[in-house]
Structure 1
Amino acid sequence: TLSPEVPVAGQKEEVTISGKFAEDITESTEIAIAFVDMGRTPLADPAKFPACTGSGCSIKAGEQYTKTVEIQAPDSIPNLSFLMIAMGNSNTDVIGCAYAEV
């Protein structure tokens, strides 16, 4: 989910990632979030976060996962832009991904 639902250029946005994944989520799992245009060109550098840390790691495959992070919206968000989210390990294995028109 994205809050506010319609992102405001230059403002902080709250993104909640949730679901059940087919692979374990460990301390080496990262989340990358980017605003992109129609050609999938990033509008700013992607925000990156550890998927879990400390006693909250690891989440076994099939268990419910939820994490909320705060990102900075780019200074300009053109019409027909998208928010892309990817979760994977440092060896580039993708565990999950999603995108939504913003």
Structure 2
Amino acid sequence: MVNAIPHKLLKRSSYYSCPPTGLSTPPALLHASFASVSKNKYKATVSGTFTDKVTKKTKLVIAFVGDSGRTPIAHPNIFAACTGSGCPIKPGVKYNQTVEFQVPDKLSKQFDMVLSVANSESNILGCIEFNVGPE
């Protein structure tokens, strides 16, 4: 099941933009591509353009959830979204990051995978949600 994630994301998934957050500016739709690194480890390349700056306090979160997005399957993978000399990233400038992340050992036949970028106030700047499972 785990090694099928990139295949499933390409062949048997639907993706959605972020759910409404109540913010005056809706979060941007992220773009993501995936590659297998090892049995339970994958590489994600995530990009998007935001209306707010990305700072060293901004986080990229990759989470797996079941039960229609309500129940976490495992602890999320959390990364600093901005590091090094390219930080901060100004509003309107494309954000692009590649990270390696851990996949839960046991996934059901149908689950959601959510990628989001949030600032230090937990405001979601951008996200994408994949519904992975049977056709």
> Which TM-score bucket, shorter chain as reference?
0.7 to 0.9
Letter in 2 for 1:57: C
1:101 corresponds to 2:131: yes
1:63 corresponds to 2:109: no
Greater CA radius of gyration, 1 or 2? Answer: 2
SS in 2 for 1:69: strand
| 2:116 alignment partner, one of 80, 83, 86 | 86
Give the ranges of 4+ consecutive aligned residues of structure 1 lying more than 2 Å apart after TM superposition.
none
Write the distance in 2 (CA, Å) between the matches of 1:50 and 1:89: 10
- Partner deviation per Cα, 1:27-62 (whole Å, 9 max, x = no partner): 111111111113321111001000011212011111
Q: State whether residues 55 and 82 of structure 2, in contact with CA within 8 Å, keep that contact through their aligned partners in structure 1.
A: yes
Letter in 2 for 1:39: S
Write the distance in 1 (CA, Å) between the matches of 2:74 and 2:57: 24
**Structure 2 spans left out of the alignment, 5+ residues:** 1-32
Letter in 2 for 1:35: F
Write the distance in 1 (CA, Å) between the matches of 2:67 and 2:110: 6
- Partner deviation per Cα, 1:70-90 (whole Å, 9 max, x = no partner): 111101111111210111112
User: Identity across aligned pairs (percent)?
Assistant: 39
Letter in 2 for 1:11: N
What is the match of residue 34 of structure 1? 63
Q: TM-score when scaled to structure 2?
A: 0.67
> May I ask how many residue pairs the two structures share in their alignment?
98
What is the match of residue 48 of structure 2? 19
What is the match of residue 3 of structure 1? 35
